[in-house]
Structure 1
Amino acid sequence: MTLLEAHNLPFAGAAILLVFIALAQVIGMGDIFEGADADIDLDVDYELADPTAASGFGAALLSVFGIGRVPFLIWLSVLLFAFTVIGWFGQQTLVSAVGAPLPAWLAAIAAGAAALPVTGMLTRPLARLLPQDETSAVGLDSLVRRDAEIQMGSATAGSPARSKVIDRHGHPHFVMVEPNDPEATLEQGETVMLVRREGETFFGVQYENPMLSL
Structure 2
Amino acid sequence: MWFLRLRELLKGGNRTMSLFLAPQSWPFLLALILLIAIAVIEGLALLLGFSISGWLDDFMPDMDVPSGDMAGHVFDAWLGWLHLGKVPLLVVLSLLLTTFAMAGFVINGVAHSILGEYPPVFASVPLAFLGALPVVRASAAAISRLVPRDETSAEPLANLVGKIGVVINGTARVNYPAQARVKNDHGQTLYVHVEPDGENQQLVAGESVLLVKQISGARFLAIANPRPDLL
Q: TM-score of the superposition, structure 1-length normalised?
A: 0.53
* 2:57 paired with 1:37: yes
Structure 1 segments of 4+ aligned residues over 2 angstroms from their partners: 29-40, 57-69, 133-137, 167-171
- Match in the other structure for 1:8: 25
Deviation per CA, 1:91-119: give whole Å up to 9, x if none. 10111122222112321121112212210
After TM superposition, the structure 1 = structure 2 runs for residues 4-153 of structure 1, keeping only pairs within 5 Å, are 4-28=21-45, 31=51, 34-40=54-60, 42=61, 61-133=78-150, 136=153
**Secondary structure at 1:68 match in 2:** coil
Q: Is the 8 A contact 2:28 2:105 kept in 1?
A: yes
The structural deviation recorded for 1:131 is 0.7
Structure 2 gaps of 5+ residues are 1-15, 66-71, 155-159, 164-183, 189-226
> Which residue pairs with 2:166 in the alignment?
none
Asked whether the equivalents of residues 63 and 120 of structure 1 are also in contact (C-alpha less than 8 Å), the reply is no
Q: 1:133 to 1:90 in 2, by over 3 A?
A: farther
TM-score by length of 2: 0.49
Judging changes above 3 Å, is the alpha-carbon distance between structure 1 residues 38 and 169 closer, same or farther for their aligned structure 2 residues?
closer
Q: Report the alpha carbon displacement of residue 39 of structure 1 after superposing the two structures with TM.
A: 2.4
- Deviation, 1:78, is 0.5
Cα RMSD for the two superposed structures: 4.1
Sequence identity, in percent? 31
